[in-house]
Structure 1
Amino acid sequence: MHLTPSLARRTVALAATVTTAALSLAACGGAGGDSSAGHGGHGGNAGSITASAPASAAASASAEQQRHNAADVDFAQGMVPHHRQAVEMAGLAPERAESAEVKELAEQIKKAQDPEISTLSGWLTSWGETVPAAGAADHSTHGGADGMMSAEDMERLEQASGTAFDTAFMELMIEHHEGAVAMAEAEQTDGVHAPAKKMAADIIRSQSAEIARMKRLLGTD
């Protein structure tokens, strides 16, 4: 069959229109695919943000753990030698004390305060502060301050034994504990380092109970 010239022109035009429409649809499909990939990309970015969130939270928590002020430093630097002296006093009890209760109390004091010395020293190191050196400075230069025993007090305790030791140990340790409680109360009021404030609360609770126990044993409560 032969087409007239006008019909042939219309057929060619229609074919061109169909081809153009098909190409447009293909382009839209491609754009849709790209858009989908783009959303996938956004999803990937959201995943990265989500993945980084725990790291950011951990960093914030770490920074909060390191937050401290001058009161926290004073508490740690004061409590390290204070605890060392209490542990030294407690170390005399096994061979010198007569009362089983005094020996038990001394062991309780040593068990509680030895680990705290390590914790306090660790805080000071992490803050870039000086950890008090161990030795005679733990008592010879601090007698009377915050309940610290003088060198003479320590010598008197070292030379006592039996019931005389029991009495001297408890009298001196009551004074020593009262100093620690006062230091801990200052930390509770002025400090900002959460772990240090928690330790201060523990010291107030445990050492107040030990003071009451020693006063009861001495008959002075």
Structure 2
Amino acid sequence: MTDRRARTLAIVTLALVLPLVAFIVIRSGGDASTGAARSAAAPATPAPAATPTVSPVPTDLTVIAPGRPGESPSTRAAHEVRDAGPAPHNSMDVWFVRMMIPHHAQALAMAELAPDRAADPDIRALADRIRASQGPEMGLMRGWLQTRGLPAEVQGHDHGTMRGMQSPEAMRQLAAVRGADFDRLFVQMMTAHHEGAIELATNLLTVGSDLTLNEFANSVATEQTVEIQRMREVLTR
């Protein structure tokens, strides 16, 4: 009798406990899924953007300005320093550029005849060198004048009177010959032409004030002296 009563009591206890356990399990699962859904639906809060650090611009910068010959350098506020513009030049600088442009132009005209007329490959190579160097040099000189607002033309000047410039008749004669005759005449005319350019450049080195033009004139005198020597060597081989 006692065993029967114990079994009955156990059955009744299970009947009461099992629904409670099931309720607790279901409630726990629902809360977890609801929390996950809410987490998924909630928009992510963007991280605050980093603010770039800007260093303040110093206002006390100074520049060391060189003094004139015999004077000590001085310091000036940076905002007081301005671009000095084109380098100072004088009338002889301008004259040199205006004379050298047509001088180079005639040298190019002679060099352009060589590919179809010269017999010696060294003459053709020399002509190519003249075209490669003097073409850009003409651009440099024209740019120098334009930067300073100066025209390239000289009113009333006959460029044919410059040393080394060849007459129209001499140019026609050079264009009419070929082979060894062309080589010989080309060397003769180009040598005289180079000598004229060297004289112009050398004169500028003594009276010009623009440093860029002085460097250019020195280069012209040096390179064309070398080219004269090469042309003479071609004829004496």
What is the TM-score with the length of structure 2 in the denominator? 0.65
In 2, Cα distance between the equivalents of 1:68 and 1:76? 11
Q: Is this contact kept in 1: 2:102–2:159, CA < 8 A?
A: no
Aligned CA distance change for structure 1 residues 149 and 52 (closer, same or farther; 3 Å): farther
Partner in structure 2 of residue 188 of structure 1: 205
Aligned CA distance change for structure 1 residues 55 and 207 (closer, same or farther; 3 Å): farther
Q: Deviations over 1:189-217 (max 9, x none)?
A: 11111111101000011000001111122
Aligned CA distance change for structure 1 residues 193 and 218 (closer, same or farther; 3 Å): same
In 1, Cα distance between the equivalents of 2:88 and 2:117? 44
Partner in structure 2 of residue 92 of structure 1: 113
In 2, Cα distance between the equivalents of 1:198 and 1:85? 22
In 2, Cα distance between the equivalents of 1:164 and 1:219? 14
| Alignment RMSD | 2.6
Partner in structure 1 of residue 67 of structure 2: none
Aligned CA distance change for structure 1 residues 173 and 144 (closer, same or farther; 3 Å): farther
Partner in structure 1 of residue 125 of structure 2: 104
Q: Is this contact kept in 2: 1:86–1:176, CA < 8 A?
A: yes
**Is 1:142 the counterpart of 2:159 in the alignment?**
yes
In 2, Cα distance between the equivalents of 1:122 and 1:202? 18
Q: Deviations over 1:15-73 (max 9, x none)?
A: xxxxxxxxxxxxxxxxxxxxxxxxxxxx95314x569638826x13xx3x431101100
Partner in structure 2 of residue 46 of structure 1: 60
1:171-182 → structure 2 map (5 Å cutoff): 171-182=188-199
What is the TM-score with the length of structure 1 in the denominator? 0.69
In 2, Cα distance between the equivalents of 1:128 and 1:55? 26
**Is 1:116 the counterpart of 2:137 in the alignment?**
yes
1:128 Cα offset (Å): 2.0
Question: What letter matches 1:100 in structure 2?
Answer: P
Partner in structure 1 of residue 184 of structure 2: 167
Question: What letter matches 1:185 in structure 2?
Answer: T
Aligned CA distance change for structure 1 residues 56 and 157 (closer, same or farther; 3 Å): same
Question: What letter matches 1:199 in structure 2?
Answer: F
Q: Is this contact kept in 2: 1:142–1:149, CA < 8 A?
A: no
Unmatched segments (≥5 aa) in structure 2: 1-56, 64-75
Q: Is this contact kept in 2: 1:72–1:187, CA < 8 A?
A: yes
Q: Deviations over 1:163-185 (max 9, x none)?
A: 10001001000000000000000
- Select the structure of larger CA radius of gyration: 2
In 2, Cα distance between the equivalents of 1:204 and 1:129? 25
1:144 Cα offset (Å): 4.7
Q: Is this contact kept in 2: 1:87–1:114, CA < 8 A?
A: yes
In 2, Cα distance between the equivalents of 1:104 and 1:195? 29
Partner in structure 1 of residue 23 of structure 2: none
**Aligned partner of 2:151 among 123, 126, 130:** 130
Unmatched segments (≥5 aa) in structure 1: 1-42
Secondary structure of the 2:149 match is coil
Aligned CA distance change for structure 1 residues 54 and 161 (closer, same or farther; 3 Å): farther
**Structure with more helix by fraction:** 1
**Is 1:208 the counterpart of 2:208 in the alignment?**
no
Deviation above 4 Å: which 4+ runs of structure 1? 49-52
Q: Is this contact kept in 2: 1:69–1:193, CA < 8 A?
A: yes
Q: Deviations over 1:60-110 (max 9, x none)?
A: 3xx3x4311011001100000000110111000000101000000000011
Secondary structure of the 1:66 match is coil
Secondary structure of the 2:81 match is helix
**Relative CO higher for 1 or 2, CA cutoff 8 Å, sep ≥ 6?**
1
